Amino acid sequence: MDLNVALQKALEDFADRHPASKEASLRAAQALPGGNTRHALFCNPFPVTLVRGEGCHVWDADGHQYVDALGEFTASITGHTHPAVKAAAIAALERGINLGGHIAQEAELSQAIKARFPSMQLMRFCNSGTEANMMNILTARAYTSREKVMVFEGSYHGGVFSFPCGKTMRTNVPFQFLTAPYNDAQAAERLIKEHGSDLACVIFEPMLGTGGCIPASKEFVHTIRAATEQVGALMIMDEVMTSRLSPGGLQQSLGVTPDLTSLGKYVGGGFSFGAFGGRADVMQAYDPRNPAGLMHSGTFNNNTLSMAAGAVTMTQWTGVGSMLTAQFYAGSISSARDLVDTNPRLKELLYLHLLKCGVWTTTRCMFSPCLVMGDKQYSTIIQAVESFLLAYPGLAQANEP
């Protein structure tokens, strides 16, 4: 079967099944570029418009029901309209929206985070994982009085910190970045030592998110830890996505203590949230009682909804997490370089097939299950993937460029 023919047929079928989404997209395009304000959610010929969610399901404007395998890229860990989170949000609204002062839930949420992530001795709240990563990098630059920031191919630390293989993002923050291959311990150590006197920090995801859900090896992580300590640079672990993979994040599983950690996504209970923090001697610079310290503010840093919903969410998420990702690729995968030649059209075909089978994800085909999923929902996902392999056996196995 020809991939182009199969994809064209799937796109035509998609358009026929989603007339209301098409109409909504055309309306949005009158004020939004391409009718879109989040690139990760866009798809051809137009994106699906969702109208509601409940539990582990979402519904679109055309009435189709889906098992939500995306989980809002890990942000919806408790599913949609979880009773405890919903009650906390409603109670927060009834007490008043964003009071313009300290609220009790700030201490409650920060203590809950600290209990799970002991490396975060002191922390600050912000509004997103992107902002948390930006503040951690700025903190490291201020603490070390150095400028260079080391990152890794395939990593994504937010909308202004994206490092896809072979591409230069013109919208990245203009820091002095050094880029190394992911999971290459020797290359990382060599670059850290080469630039040690000018290196402020090394920031990395203990599992690449956008880069393909590729976990870091223990050797890689511990090599970074030892090398940064040797040259006096700070190690920043971006656990915005990965903190859900273990009660104490992947830093707990890997047995490593970073200098600074970035959090976001589900920790705010499904509302906008970010947190950055770590060593007390580093974060002490943000103590407002210190006239020579660092300034950090933001109208919504302690917004009532995120604080209340986040505090409750931390009580719901208690067990050991799991990683779920389908990789249609022959051979081992240890870095984003291993996925460079993966055919995006084949992934698009898989995405369209999953939608038709009632599985919600994006063209990235990322799976981030929520806590309320059961055997029935997992079976739906598994059967959808199996039916794709049966429907397109030659294409799925070949994965030709």
Digit-coded pLDDT (tens) for 46-68? 999 999 999 999 999 999 999 99
**Cα 302 from Cα 282, distance rounded (Å):** 21
Percent of the chain with pLDDT over 90: 79
Question: Worst-scoring range by mean pLDDT, 48-52, 203-207, 369-373?
Answer: 369-373
pLDDT bracket for residue 174 (50, 70, 90): confident
Q: Please, what is the average pLDDT of the chain?
A: 91
What is the Cα–Cα distance from 378 to 372, expressed in whole angstroms?
11
- In whole angstroms, give the CA distance from residue 204 to residue 249: 14
Q: Which residue has the tokens 């719901």?
A: 316
Cα separation, 5 vs 173, whole angstroms: 41
Asked if 184 contacts 216 with a C-beta cutoff of 8 angstroms, the reply is no
User: Which residue in the list 66, 143, 156, 266 is annotated as catalytic?
Assistant: 156
Q: Which one from 60, 265, 286, 351 is the annotated catalytic residue?
A: 265
- Whether 356 is catalytic: no
Which of 197-201, 315-319, 345-349 has the least mean pLDDT?
315-319
Residue 333 has pLDDT above 80, yes or no: no
Q: Is the pLDDT of residue 258 over 90?
A: yes
Sheet of 199-204, strands arranged across:
122-126, 274-278, 260-264, 234-238, 199-204, 148-152, 176-180
What phi, psi does 28 have (nearest 5°)? -65, -35
398, pLDDT greater than 80: no
Catalytic, 156? Answer yes
> 118 to each of 251, 258, 306, 361, how far by Cα in Å?
10, 10, 21, 33
Q: What residues contact 245, with CB distance under 8 A and at least 6 apart?
A: 207, 253, 321, 322, 323
pLDDT top residue among 235 and 314:
235
Please tell me whether the overall predicted TM-score, pTM, comes out greater than 0.75 for this model: yes
Q: How far is CA 382 from the centre of its chain?
A: 23
Tens of pLDDT along 334-367? 655 555 556 889 999 999 999 999 999 999 898 9
What average pLDDT does range 24-52 have in this prediction? Answer: 96
- Contact between 266 and 244 under an 8 Å Cβ cutoff? The reply is yes
Q: Give the model's pLDDT for residue 339.
A: 55
pLDDT of residue 150: 97
Catalytic residue, from 60, 238, 259, 338: name it: 238
Tokens of 332: 């081992």
On the 0-12 / 13-18 / 19+ scale of CB atoms within 10 A, 118 is: exposed
